[in-house]
Structure 1
Amino acid sequence: MKRIQFILLLSLLFSALSFSQSSIIRGVILDEANMPIEGVNIKANTGEGTATNSNGFYELKVPSEIEVTLIFTHISHKHVEQKFNLKNGQEIEYNPVLLIDVEQIATVVINTNTRLSIEGVVSIDPSTLRTIKGAQPGVENILKTLPGVNISNELSTQYSVRGGNFDENLVYVNEIEVYRPFLIRSGNQEGLSFVNTDMVHNVDFSAGGFQAKYGDKLSSVLDITYRNPVNFGIRTDLSLLGGSLTAETVSKDGKFSGIAGVRYRDNSLLLNSLETEGNVEPVFADAQTYLTYRFSSKFHLNFLGNISLNKYNFQPENRQTNFGTLEDPIALLVFYDGQEKDQYQTYFGAFKANYFANEDVTLKLVASAYHTTEQEYFDILAQYRLGEVNTNIGDENLGEVEFSEGIGSQLTHARNDLDAFIINAEHRGDYKIDNESTLEWSVKYTHEDIRDRLAEYEVIDSAGFSIRPPRFSEPNSQPYTPFAGPITAFENIRALNFIKINRLQAFAQYSKRTTWNDHEIFYNAGVRTHTWSVSGDGISDGEAQTVVSPRAQFAIKPNWQKDMLFRVAGGLYYQPPFYRELRDSSGTVKPNVKAQQSFHIVLGNEYSFEIWERPFKLVTEAYYKGMSDVNPYTLENVRIRYSADNNAKAYAYGLDLRLNGEFVPGTESWFSFGYLKTEENIDNRGYISRPTDQRLKFGALFQDYVPNMPDLKMYLNLVYNTGVPGGSPSYADPYVYQLRLRDYRRADLGISYQLVNPEKTYTSNWKKSVKELSIGFEIYNMFNNQNSITNTWVRDVYSKAQYAIPNYLTPRVFNVRLSARF
């Protein structure tokens, strides 16, 4: 009897085991940006089910030897179905990519904006970047319409934020810091922005009070995310200023995806419209790629690469600039001889490895290298006449110089070469403690190897006299005693520097989002540390310096009937010196220059409401920066020259407002206003305006379409900035020269017509083969305003006067554009 019971028990166990034969399907579910999606429901037709965790992981046991259909669903994404027929005990990995469901996109946008709002971050729609091109296309063209961001040169991608200079802005692409060339002194010489807008998935921008996870700069953070493709596609853009081609693909199993783009830019259309006539060849080109390979659900490897080749050749011939007043019109006539040849070649590569240890821990390793070789060669002789202009209407010589008040010449020479190699190695990690709090950390090592030759001089002759530098101490008793001193150039700089800088950086920060008395609250607290040392040939090694930067944010969303959000952010922000900040105006490197320090406090409010049953948002921010150990600088076009001395203190305060929403149904537009005051006190001589003291700013980006012809669209990009200080001559005291440039006023208009709209269905065969096709017409500087970026200083020995002649920017220019996507 017991034997029979034992046999029956074994039979039952064998039947149960046979019935429970199963297999395992596991993986990670990602969106189009290669970001994990939490809360995806996975349901099998046999009844089994599960959901993804915060890192997008799932694991599901399903029956084997039969066909099983899995359905992946999420409220904000399109569902995916996949059939499996697995053997007993088989384990496979399946990593689907869910596309955004257009019917649910509003929910996604609201959730994303909520997260960014509490962090004080502005998010820009990538489609806006690709639509609003401008004279200098790129993300910077959109940034200039935001409050607190000032760009007064359409030939440049450099921007200043809340009183800072161009060197005080951080730029990241997929958490990898990127760099710009060093030697560029003019917007004419600038190439393309590093960011390729056709590859962008997400753009986040913070104008101050940013978190500790971002690096050590004083002003702003631009955080770019390149997208991971989900299918094959090609995008191209052609205009009179150049063109671009972008291709993307993904493997059948979804493990490999890649996007690559090439761009070509020729600014001749813009530069030939300037007052200085001559032969100009500004050619800029680059190639970028972003690749991703998913070895498994836990390990992903990314590669970001960029090659940029920029050449600027210029042979100026002549120039006439009219300035002065109606009562006293003056003209500057210049005849040139010589040429300028500049070349910038940059190479950048970075690997980023992501390891998802479990559902709560993500570990990252980033290694990058940046190499730039830059050449700045020119020999230009400029012979000028400064005189009165004929203002007699109807006279055949109207506008010509009739009487010369001064004559002279200027010879400039440069043979500047720079070779910089920068490597980085960084470990980043984050630990999700629970659904409401996260801990993030990083350790980063940087090595900078700079080889720099600076050889330039300037000789000025006015009315037959060679002008000596003001600091020249040789006594001159003419005409009573003959002067036997040597002929000296007005400016002569020669330096050869071989510098190495080692940096060690680290940060840790804690974020938590919770509720308090039915009010949603968010807070973030973190600290950064930065240690660096400078060494080099021919200089005494600098002492190792360390700074500690605590930062914090707090936001509260009250449980009110009105949708309001309040936030405050602040902390200590340091900017350890880069090579350019260590080199003074004579080319001498000072290794013990301290980090500039700034105390930030930012108060913000966001009010979301509806007008005409459409969403709008008003964002208001007030800020104050108190700066110490300031390294004073002069600004010449976009060239920054530091004193390499921490002998100043400064402050900046202001108010920024931005109203954005659907002024026209289905389109986003915004209007922004900013007030800024920033001053510095050098050597305790009293406060004067800093070079970026741009008091008032108004910007607008307006989009519209014809109601009866929605394929006919337009955009209007408006910028108004009050003038900044116009700079001072070389060696001059900035306290004497506080004259401001005229206000910057610019309006760019673009009109486009979509020949093929991706939201429509066509019967024509050629339209079926094209996903999107549009043709456009653009007017840059529509009202033909005369804007200036800086002054040329002309010295006249005869009249003992010194004239500030404005260097005008581009007048009205027309452009046509063709864009297509396949």
Structure 2
Amino acid sequence: MKNQFFLFLIPLLFASIYSTAQTATLKGVVLDENNTPIAGANISYDNSGTQSDKNGVYELTIPANQEIQVNISHISLKNLRFMIKLDENQEYELNPVLKTSVEQISEVVISGRERKTVQGITILDPETIRATPSANAGVEGLLKSLPGVSSNNELSTQYAVRGGNFDENLVYVNEIEVYRPFLIRSGQQEGLSFVNTDLVRNVDFSAGGFQSKYGDKLSSVLDITYKRPTKLGATADLSLLGASVSAGGISKSKKLAAIIGLRYRDNSLLVNSRNTEVNFKPSFADIQTYISYNVTDKFELGFLGNLALNTYDYEPLTEQVNFGTLQFVQALTVSYQGQENDKYETYFGALKGTYRPNENLTLKFIASAYQTQEQEHFDIFANYALGTVNTDIGSENVGEIEFSEGVGSQLTHARNDLDAVIVNAEHKGTYIQDQHQFDWGIKYTSEDIRDRLEEFEIIDSAGFSLRPIILDIRNDEPRTPFASPIVPFESVRAINNAKIDRISGYAQYNLRSSINDHEIWTNIGVRAHNWNISGPTVESSDSQIVFSPRAQFAIKPNWKQNMIFRLSGGWYHQPPFYRELRNQFGVVVPEVKAQQSIHAVLGHDYSFKLWKRPFVLSSEGYYKKLTDVNPYTIENVRIRYRANNNAEAFAYGLDLRLNGEFVPGTESWVSIGYLKTEENIDNRGYIPRPTDQRLKVGVLFQDYVPTIPSLKMYLNMVYQTGLPSGSPGFADPYDFADQSRLRDYRRADLGISYIVVDSDKRLSQGSFFNNFKELSLGFVIYNLFDSQNAITNTFVRDASSQQQFAVPNFLTPRVFNVRLGMKF
């Protein structure tokens, strides 16, 4: 009956709907030369317009996807005219200054999308991010629907881009680099992403070939800009997974603006739906703020702060995992004792000063400090039985293990503690003269890490303790009992106190010009990065330095078809962060080199009309040649590096994305990505890398019912072919290279919302709901088709046959959630 309901519901919500106007919003504060707000200024285009209020604040709705001329005038001041072009649903903040001198005319066309398109940057709409259903709602949930971005773990905010791993992605908020905790090994431990979507104004994403002004990582850049409020407002979002509230406002003088957000998340709804019976007490909470103050009309000071307090208490009880084929079903049943207690506390603060001495020059100064205090403590004892499942439907014991091939027990122990402080001081500058732009920057970073790593695992099968797999001892229990004392099957003990000092900088040049009426954009630049490692527990080493030249070229031919072609690439380096310096035995290896990748990206964007509505087809082909590669294994979201730069690798692929108004007034897209990435360790031949995600298809679809436009639907679907099944951390990856891959990843999340009131829909006078600027109710179905996805394998050893079985770790099944959204 449930399946019939879904089959009926989906076609209904996919029904065609009527066309609506394509608009964007221009807003801000009108000021005079003394930076005083101007009341009664006229802001207009064609025959439409508005006036600024007593505080100088205005908001104007304009047509999207077309150039229009905006006029701003006041009876006592000179007029301001300029051309502007905004994307559909884009909100653009402009704080114009009206002068008492001559009339101002600007020939510059403000186009948010065009500037980003030539740089190979994907623009994501914050409203779409907030509405898209995802088990981990936020920017990362929407990123995973883009080509080239992959993740097979809905409990995690981590993502891999074009064959890279989770540590190869840059994240900036208001040009300030942000970080994540070190010790998290499981997606269900993560809680909240740093980025609070309630505070977001702009989201830009580059999957490769990015400019020199961005930092030293190999894969991608996520560039977030937070809002600067123009009026008082608040939002709230409540669901069974947690709650978030935000508020923002601006002072009467318009100099001080602030926005603050609080979030709480509880993953119990998702974790309790899995095939493990647990006692689960998570608590993920944070508070975040961005405050800006215009000290003068030329100098602005901003503060970004974040405090996150996360605890994770986990007590597994029992579990049964069925795997194998329909003809030969096997099962692993486990009963547990013990618990896990983790804490992650992070503190982050940054000051950013922006000084504009004239209209051509911008100088920025950024100072930030990040501290993380992390604890990972667990003692879990597991008794397991591996056997064949009774598949006789008529039997009373159907689904139960009827023949055990192996029984045993496992004790895992950890006492891991980490305290890290990262301090940055940075200067950035931009100089613009006509069509020329120069950018430069220099940054100092100090990283102080204190780390205690203590882990072991003891495995017992049929009463005999399994020995570690090392060359000079044969593991032959139970045939030949080993009379030596019991030692752990795996054991890591280390205490590290490391300090890393870094100096990095960049310089780049941008030119916008034309050749025979063909518009061209050029960017060339170079980065340099020097670092050295020291500490009482670290062997001394020489400092290292790398140079990373990069370039971009784009051309927009003067054709009837609206097309942009671009080529970008360069040498990209990733100097090792602390996790990359620590090998699988917990030892810090200061001689680890920066991984190097030569990028080449060829892109094309074609904008066209279909059904009289705008569409864009974007395509990018890329190739990466990697050297000095630091091999690693992945355990859920925990990465363990070998820390020896003993491999080389490659990655190539093709990303396609068609986005536009499949339904009038909404943005949807279909993306397809193909990737192949392999590595060659110690010249032993190429094998697939852990992120070798061959085929990816993503769909984001938005719709609403024609006769009930307040009833909206959001569908987020992803299909990915299976990743390599991996290998145990202690094993030789070549011994597992020919194993079958994990099962294909299929997931669809469906969100239905009904807008009770908004700016276009008000109820009868006197209704309580009119007190809200916007009020919406909805429900979400995660994993709509109840696909059984796996993230990794647990390798279980049968001592009697000396055989290891790869038992899949399954993710969440179908889960229902409800949401209540409010704006004030």
Q: TM exceeds 0.5?
A: yes
Matched, 1:289 2:289: yes
Q: Corresponding residue for 1:307?
A: 307
Residues 147-181 of structure 1: CA distance to partner in whole angstroms, max 9, x if unpaired?
A: 00001100000000000000000000000000000
Does the C-alpha gap of structure 1 residues 521 and 466 become closer, same or farther in structure 2, counting only changes over 3 Å? same
- Measured after TM superposition, the shift of residue 482 of structure 1 is 7.7
- Measured after TM superposition, the shift of residue 349 of structure 1 is 0.3
- Measured after TM superposition, the shift of residue 113 of structure 1 is 0.9
Q: Which 5+ residue runs of structure 2 have no aligned equivalent? A: 1-24, 67-84, 89-110
Residues 642-685 of structure 1: CA distance to partner in whole angstroms, max 9, x if unpaired?
A: 00111000000000000000000000000000000000000000
Residues 300-340 of structure 1: CA distance to partner in whole angstroms, max 9, x if unpaired?
A: 10000000011110111100000011221111010000000
Residues 552-583 of structure 1: CA distance to partner in whole angstroms, max 9, x if unpaired?
A: 00000000011111000000000000000000
- Is the 2:419–2:449 Cα contact (8 Å) retained in structure 1? yes
Three-state SS of the structure 2 residue aligned to 1:116 is: helix
Which amino acid in structure 1 is aligned with residue 742 of structure 2?
L
Matched, 1:722 2:721: yes
- Is the 2:341–2:378 Cα contact (8 Å) retained in structure 1? yes
Which amino acid in structure 1 is aligned with residue 213 of structure 2?
K
Residues 53-84 of structure 1: CA distance to partner in whole angstroms, max 9, x if unpaired?
A: xxxx974999xxxxx9884647599655589x
Three-state SS of the structure 2 residue aligned to 1:580 is: helix
Q: Which 5+ residue runs of structure 1 have no aligned equivalent? A: 1-30, 43-56, 63-67, 84-94
- Is the 1:33–1:226 Cα contact (8 Å) retained in structure 2? no
Alpha-carbon distance in 2 for matches of 1:213, 1:692 = 27
Does the C-alpha gap of structure 1 residues 786 and 476 become closer, same or farther in structure 2, counting only changes over 3 Å? closer
Residues 364-395 of structure 1: CA distance to partner in whole angstroms, max 9, x if unpaired?
A: 10000000000000000010000111011121
RMSD: 2.2
Which amino acid in structure 2 is aligned with residue 778 of structure 1?
V
Q: Larger C-alpha radius of gyration, 1 or 2? A: 1
Three-state SS of the structure 2 residue aligned to 1:130 is: helix
Q: Corresponding residue for 1:47?
A: none
Q: Corresponding residue for 1:375?
A: 375
Q: How does 1:36-185 map to 2 (within 5 A)?
A: 59=33, 71=41, 73=43, 80=51, 98-103=58-63, 107-109=85-87, 111-185=111-185
Which amino acid in structure 1 is aligned with residue 593 of structure 2?
K
Q: How does 1:371-520 map to 2 (within 5 A)?
A: 371-434=371-434, 436-471=435-470, 473-474=472-473, 483-520=482-519
Q: Corresponding residue for 1:639?
A: 638
Q: Corresponding residue for 1:736?
A: 735
Does the C-alpha gap of structure 1 residues 428 and 389 become closer, same or farther in structure 2, counting only changes over 3 Å? same
Residues 409-430 of structure 1: CA distance to partner in whole angstroms, max 9, x if unpaired?
A: 1100000000000000001110
Does the C-alpha gap of structure 1 residues 73 and 809 become closer, same or farther in structure 2, counting only changes over 3 Å? same
Does the C-alpha gap of structure 1 residues 413 and 32 become closer, same or farther in structure 2, counting only changes over 3 Å? farther
Residues 197-224 of structure 1: CA distance to partner in whole angstroms, max 9, x if unpaired?
A: 0100000000000000000000000000
Q: Corresponding residue for 2:823?
A: 821
Deviates most, 177-186 or 533-542: 533-542
Alpha-carbon distance in 2 for matches of 1:759, 1:167 = 44
- Measured after TM superposition, the shift of residue 589 of structure 1 is 0.4
- Is the 2:410–2:459 Cα contact (8 Å) retained in structure 1? yes
Does the C-alpha gap of structure 1 residues 340 and 666 become closer, same or farther in structure 2, counting only changes over 3 Å? same
Q: Corresponding residue for 2:322?
A: 322
Which amino acid in structure 1 is aligned with residue 417 of structure 2?
D
Q: How does 1:337-356 map to 2 (within 5 A)?
A: 337-356=337-356
- Is the 1:33–1:228 Cα contact (8 Å) retained in structure 2? no
- Is the 1:596–1:646 Cα contact (8 Å) retained in structure 2? yes
- Measured after TM superposition, the shift of residue 481 of structure 1 is 9.2
Alpha-carbon distance in 2 for matches of 1:453, 1:559 = 62
Three-state SS of the structure 2 residue aligned to 1:559 is: coil
Alpha-carbon distance in 1 for matches of 2:219, 2:296 = 39
Which of residues 782, 788, 805 in structure 2 aligns to 1:803? 805
- Measured after TM superposition, the shift of residue 253 of structure 1 is 1.1
Alpha-carbon distance in 2 for matches of 1:814, 1:657 = 32
Q: Percent identity?
A: 61
Structure 2 length as normaliser, TM-score?
0.89
Which amino acid in structure 1 is aligned with residue 772 of structure 2?
V
Residues 423-459 of structure 1: CA distance to partner in whole angstroms, max 9, x if unpaired?
A: 000011100122x121111010000000000001000
- Measured after TM superposition, the shift of residue 105 of structure 1 is 7.3
- Measured after TM superposition, the shift of residue 733 of structure 1 is 1.1
Alpha-carbon distance in 2 for matches of 1:775, 1:125 = 21
Deviates most, 734-743 or 628-637: 734-743
- Measured after TM superposition, the shift of residue 128 of structure 1 is 0.4
Which amino acid in structure 1 is aligned with residue 747 of structure 2?
R
Alpha-carbon distance in 2 for matches of 1:566, 1:132 = 30
Q: Corresponding residue for 2:746?
A: 745
Three-state SS of the structure 1 residue aligned to 2:127 is: helix
Does the C-alpha gap of structure 1 residues 80 and 481 become closer, same or farther in structure 2, counting only changes over 3 Å? closer
Does the C-alpha gap of structure 1 residues 156 and 793 become closer, same or farther in structure 2, counting only changes over 3 Å? same
Alpha-carbon distance in 2 for matches of 1:96, 1:576 = 48
- Is the 1:698–1:719 Cα contact (8 Å) retained in structure 2? yes
Which amino acid in structure 2 is aligned with residue 460 of structure 1?
I
- Is the 2:133–2:750 Cα contact (8 Å) retained in structure 1? no
- Is the 1:33–1:201 Cα contact (8 Å) retained in structure 2? no
Alpha-carbon distance in 2 for matches of 1:319, 1:69 = 67
Residues 226-257 of structure 1: CA distance to partner in whole angstroms, max 9, x if unpaired?
A: 01001111100000000000001111110110
Aligned residues: 755
Deviates most, 273-282 or 661-670: 273-282
Alpha-carbon distance in 1 for matches of 2:475, 2:730 = 20
Which amino acid in structure 1 is aligned with residue 59 of structure 2?
L
Q: Corresponding residue for 2:764?
A: 763
- Is the 1:301–1:352 Cα contact (8 Å) retained in structure 2? yes
Instruction: Determine which structure has greater relative contact order: mean sequence separation of CA pairs < 8 Å that are 6+ residues apart, divided by chain length.
Output: 2
Alpha-carbon distance in 1 for matches of 2:489, 2:45 = 70
Alpha-carbon distance in 1 for matches of 2:369, 2:791 = 34
Alpha-carbon distance in 2 for matches of 1:293, 1:286 = 24
Alpha-carbon distance in 1 for matches of 2:52, 2:408 = 79
Q: How does 1:678-693 map to 2 (within 5 A)?
A: 678-693=677-692
Alpha-carbon distance in 1 for matches of 2:480, 2:728 = 30
Alpha-carbon distance in 2 for matches of 1:217, 1:475 = 42
Alpha-carbon distance in 2 for matches of 1:749, 1:561 = 39
Alpha-carbon distance in 2 for matches of 1:640, 1:71 = 57
Deviates most, 105-114 or 445-454: 105-114
Q: How does 1:520-539 map to 2 (within 5 A)?
A: 520-539=519-538
Alpha-carbon distance in 2 for matches of 1:816, 1:515 = 53
Q: Corresponding residue for 2:96?
A: none
- Is the 2:495–2:537 Cα contact (8 Å) retained in structure 1? no
- Measured after TM superposition, the shift of residue 463 of structure 1 is 2.2
- Measured after TM superposition, the shift of residue 484 of structure 1 is 4.1
Alpha-carbon distance in 2 for matches of 1:443, 1:644 = 28
- Is the 2:370–2:422 Cα contact (8 Å) retained in structure 1? yes
Which amino acid in structure 1 is aligned with residue 280 of structure 2?
V
Matched, 1:667 2:676: no
Which amino acid in structure 1 is aligned with residue 149 of structure 2?
V
Which amino acid in structure 1 is aligned with residue 440 of structure 2?
W
Alpha-carbon distance in 2 for matches of 1:419, 1:663 = 49
- Is the 2:27–2:57 Cα contact (8 Å) retained in structure 1? no
- Measured after TM superposition, the shift of residue 730 of structure 1 is 3.0
Matched, 1:195 2:195: yes
Does the C-alpha gap of structure 1 residues 376 and 716 become closer, same or farther in structure 2, counting only changes over 3 Å? same
Residues 471-504 of structure 1: CA distance to partner in whole angstroms, max 9, x if unpaired?
A: 1634789999985433211011100000000000
Does the C-alpha gap of structure 1 residues 481 and 753 become closer, same or farther in structure 2, counting only changes over 3 Å? closer
- Measured after TM superposition, the shift of residue 129 of structure 1 is 1.0
Three-state SS of the structure 2 residue aligned to 1:395 is: coil
Alpha-carbon distance in 1 for matches of 2:156, 2:505 = 33
- Measured after TM superposition, the shift of residue 103 of structure 1 is 4.0
Structure 1 length as normaliser, TM-score?
0.89
- Measured after TM superposition, the shift of residue 97 of structure 1 is 5.4
